[in-house]
Structure 1
Amino acid sequence: MKNIFLIILSLFLVTSCQKEIDLDLADQSGKIVIEANVTDQAGPYTVRITKTVAFTQMNQYPAVTGAQVVLSDNTGQTEILAYIGDGQYQTSTFVGAAGRTYTLKIQAEGQQYTAQSTMPQPVHFDGLEQDSFKFGDKTSYTLLPIYTDPAVLGNRYLFSFTINDLPKKYIDVFSDNLNNGLPNQRPIMLPNDENDGADHEVVVGDTIHVEMQSIDTNIFTYYSALLELSNGSGVTPSNPPSNINNGALGYFSAHTVSKLSYTIQ
């Protein structure tokens, strides 16, 4: 079955080496799909609720209206989100902060769904460093995110980037399994072939807009599986493991955000 998250796969050009993850390949038409984020940046924060459709149907995902969506944290903060259309429910006063554990509760179509996510402490995003290599007469570029991983093992990161003002977003996830407590040495690979799933081949003068997120382990697992699916066969009728209970698809992520831009030279 297709769902809104599988469509994301067609937007991603990724390079990720992860351990094998068991994925649910069952028929999941008509299931609830939840996309929810809380960050350490100023709100509002949005929860989007839709439903899956059959793999053979057009990519139109019905919005779920009339749901009750409640966001809370372990400090006692709580808010009922307001519906703003297109399956989206939004906060008005809720404040996200690192170190807190967030709980999402959704009552929709006679079912209750819950999820938790703990926002890690931010890791300082110090800069971006360009490198390049040649294959034949073609020059390809990479960007090295400059940051130092904290000494405690278990930090997880998501990097996404866009090129110039183009809408397509590329994504990858990093862990500290091999470089715990050390400066990062893993680069972001930039698109180098318009025929390899990219909308744009990066050249000198392009500006790359990079977002770094510190994410929790459940979200790392979710995106690792998403990337594994994308690398394996492009769009596929399987779904990455959700951290939302009761059979819902999607994710709930509490994460920090840092952004930097770099112009290729």
Structure 2
Amino acid sequence: MKTSVWMFAFCVTAFYSCQKVIDVELNPSSPKYVITGNITDQPGPYEVRITSSINFDQDNHFPTVSGAKVYIADQTTSFTDTLAEVSPGRYRTHAWTGAPGHTYKLVVMLRDEMFSSVSTMPAPVALDSLYTKSATFGDGTDIVAVYDDPVGPGNSYHLLLAIQDSLSQEIYLHNDKINNGSRVSHILNNDIDIKPGDTITVNLQCIDTAVYDFYYSLDQALKQNSAVISNPKTNIVGGAMGYFCAHTVRTRSFVFK
């Protein structure tokens, strides 16, 4: 009997037009919906994307999923937005801005199924400075992001690195289980060649614990030495894959010399 292996891709909207797209070969299962969405403390609109996983022997075109009813509710203020499908599989909010401390609930109704997710936006943390250093492993240049972790446990971070218009495919994560309340010098091992004159941009996202767990499990899965990796942990309820994230954004850039 033939065993099927399925794949999915997810996008992380980062620096306006840049996106990180990671293809993942999953443990054998039936195809599933893949839902990804972000809300930030920067002015919207925001997008939720819905695709479907595919068999590994198909081409790398992940089917978009149309016809869903998608809602985002601010449970702190009781405001609810109904998203519009602006193109197949892309659902967009109206123009509003997420707020730190607020809890947001995503609801996706698709045929006879319903999926939901809740994410609370943490308080922002300033990205104090950036600098470069010789690569920790091999040749090249690493980037160091410096920020102060607030006193109090439970702070989690996801960082995105762009060199010019190229977004690193590395997953950069940190939490404060070891160095709570300390100054953090986070080394971003760089997978992109840097030339003098290139603009280096780092995006510091403060994320909640459930979203950290998604990225951490995805990163661990990608590092497995096996043909098929474990399914990443999701914060979406109802049987879909992916994530829903309410996070703050602080960005800093400099020109490499």
Q: TM-score, normalised by structure 1?
A: 0.84
| Number of the residue aligned with 2:242 | 250
| Number of the residue aligned with 1:8 | 21
The one-letter code sitting in structure 1 at the alignment partner of 2:256 is I
The one-letter code sitting in structure 1 at the alignment partner of 2:70 is V
| Number of the residue aligned with 1:183 | 183
Is 1:218 matched up with 2:210?
yes
- The answer as to whether partners of 1:67 and 1:106 remain within 8 angstroms in 2 is yes
99, 123, 126: which one pairs with 1:124? Answer: 126
Q: Distance in 1 between matches of 2:206 and 2:218?
A: 17
Q: Distance in 1 between matches of 2:226 and 2:180?
A: 31
TM-fit CA distance, 1:203? 4.0
Is 1:99 matched up with 2:101?
yes
Cα shift readout 1:114-144 (whole Å, capped 9, x = no counterpart): 1000000001111112222587xx7432222
Cα shift readout 1:47-101 (whole Å, capped 9, x = no counterpart): 0111111121111222111111010012111111001013001011333111000
Indicate the SS of the match to 1:185.
Answer: strand
Q: Distance in 2 between matches of 1:134 and 1:119?
A: 33
Deviates more, 1:125-134 or 1:224-233: 125-134
Is 1:69 matched up with 2:70?
yes
Matches within 5 A, 1:50-199: 50-74=51-75, 75-132=77-134, 139-166=139-166, 168-191=168-191
Q: TM-score, normalised by structure 2?
A: 0.86
Indicate the SS of the match to 1:115.
Answer: strand
- The answer as to whether partners of 2:8 and 2:23 remain within 8 angstroms in 1 is no
- The answer as to whether partners of 1:154 and 1:175 remain within 8 angstroms in 2 is yes
Q: Distance in 2 between matches of 1:9 and 1:235?
A: 16
Q: Distance in 2 between matches of 1:225 and 1:233?
A: 15
How large is the RMSD of aligned CA atoms in angstroms? Answer: 2.3
Indicate the SS of the match to 1:187.
Answer: strand
State the identity as a percent.
36
Indicate the SS of the match to 2:219.
Answer: helix
Q: Distance in 2 between matches of 1:235 and 1:202?
A: 31
Deviates more, 1:171-180 or 1:31-40: 171-180
Q: Distance in 2 between matches of 1:9 and 1:229?
A: 12
Q: 1:93 to 1:202 in 2, by over 3 A?
A: closer
| Number of the residue aligned with 2:17 | none
Q: Distance in 2 between matches of 1:126 and 1:156?
A: 17
Query: If each structure's strand is expressed as a fraction of its own residues, which one has the higher value?
Result: 2
Indicate the SS of the match to 1:84.
Answer: strand
TM-fit CA distance, 1:168? 5.0
| Number of the residue aligned with 2:15 | none
Is 1:231 matched up with 2:223?
yes
Cα shift readout 1:167-219 (whole Å, capped 9, x = no counterpart): 5544311111121100003311122xxxxxxxx42344432211110000011
- The answer as to whether partners of 1:81 and 1:92 remain within 8 angstroms in 2 is yes
Matches within 5 A, 1:204-215: 204-215=196-207
Deviates more, 1:218-227 or 1:204-213: 204-213
